[in-house]
Amino acid sequence: MAGALKEVRNRIKSVQSTQQITKAMKMVSAAKLRRAQDAIIQMRPYARKLQEMLSNIVSNIEGDSSGALATERPVEKVLLVVISSDRGLCGAYNANVIKLARTVARERYAAQTAKGNVTVWPIGKKAFDVFQRENLSVNPAYKDALQHISFEQVQQIAQDAIASFSKKEFDVVEIVYSEFKNAATQAFTVERFLPIPKAENKGGKATKADFIFEPGREVLVAELMPKILNTQLYKAVLDANASEHGARMTAMDKASENANELLKSLRISYNRARQAAITTELTEIVSGAAALQG
């Protein structure tokens, strides 16, 4: 009986220690989430407007004036830029991002995957750890990019992707990431990076508008395209960063609640065992006294 009581006490102490860790991680993630949320909320309208403007411009340029970055060509080689996190303990966040990337590779680009023509650039160690064990070409150069998120670092990744597309090393570039909605909700999405998609109206046709270009059309497009693409990837990284902290905060909150429930159950078990031990001792004392009197 004494051994059972000691075992329950040890389990209670263990759960309490774990609960302290989950509460601390929740508080840290909440603080980081506020900064990450402010960053993406400020960035999102600017990035979306730039992307819309670029798509409209590309849609209304005829011939080769739109540049190589907007040119559709037969898809033989595919690049997936997968944005995950560096650390775990954030619920199903990383699993969902990786699952979506796998689905894109196996369903949307099944023929290219079968030929070994799908390459993954993981941004974040979790995606790198998973995809390096699979039948996909993986570039490890950007797996540590989330340690210190900066526009300059993300810009370099975007420029490398643009250069690879321009050299026809890849025919299409997709970004797989989690779009931040709120602390408890993330929308896992695939976004076309290259070639630049054209804006479409409700009928699915490219929109037409009369633009006046100043300076010249080619100069303006050549200058705008890389800058807007840099912003697009940076927005995706900020979205993923906010989603990670939101998912971790939610997961740690649920873990703390589960620890409370487990502690209640353990305390009930401890009290029952303790009461049984006291009852046994009293019974033994009464039995001994009765034996002496007899």
| Structural domain of 163 | 27-252
Per-residue pLDDT tens listing for the chain (294 residues) = 567 788 888 999 999 999 999 999 999 999 999 999 999 999 999 998 888 877 777 776 655 445 678 888 999 999 999 999 999 999 999 999 999 999 999 999 999 999 999 999 999 999 999 999 887 899 999 999 998 899 999 999 999 999 999 999 999 999 999 999 988 889 999 999 999 887 665 555 555 556 676 776 677 777 888 889 999 999 999 999 999 999 999 999 999 999 999 999 999 988 888 888 888 888 888 887 777 776
Residue 69: its pLDDT value, please? 83
Of 146, 200, 196, 194, residue with least CA distance to 174: 194
88 found inside a domain: yes
82 found inside a domain: yes
Coil vs helix vs strand at 193: strand
If one counts the domains in the chain, the total is 1
Coil vs helix vs strand at 258: helix
45 found inside a domain: yes
127 found inside a domain: yes
Asked if residue 248 lies in contact with residue 25, where contact means CB atoms within 8 angstroms, the answer is yes
Tens of pLDDT, residues 179-223: 999 888 899 999 999 998 876 655 555 555 566 767 766 777 778
Asked if residue 136 lies in contact with residue 102, where contact means CB atoms within 8 angstroms, the answer is no
Coil vs helix vs strand at 246: helix
CATH of the domain at 150: 3.40.1380.10
57 found inside a domain: yes
HSE-CB of 84 using CA atoms within 13 angstroms: 32
For residue 133, how far is the Cα from the chain centroid?
19
* Residue 23, token pair as written in the block: 């509460």
Q: Is beta strand 78-83 parallel, antiparallel or unpaired with respect to 118-123? A: parallel
Asked if residue 186 lies in contact with residue 243, where contact means CB atoms within 8 angstroms, the answer is yes
Percent of the chain with pLDDT over 90: 63
282 found inside a domain: no
21 found inside a domain: no
Using the structure block, give the residue that is written with the tokens 């693409």.
229
266 found inside a domain: no
Tens of pLDDT, residues 231-248: 999 999 999 999 999 999
- Helices 2-59, 217-293: inter-axial angle, 10-degree rounding: 170
Active site residue ranges: 90
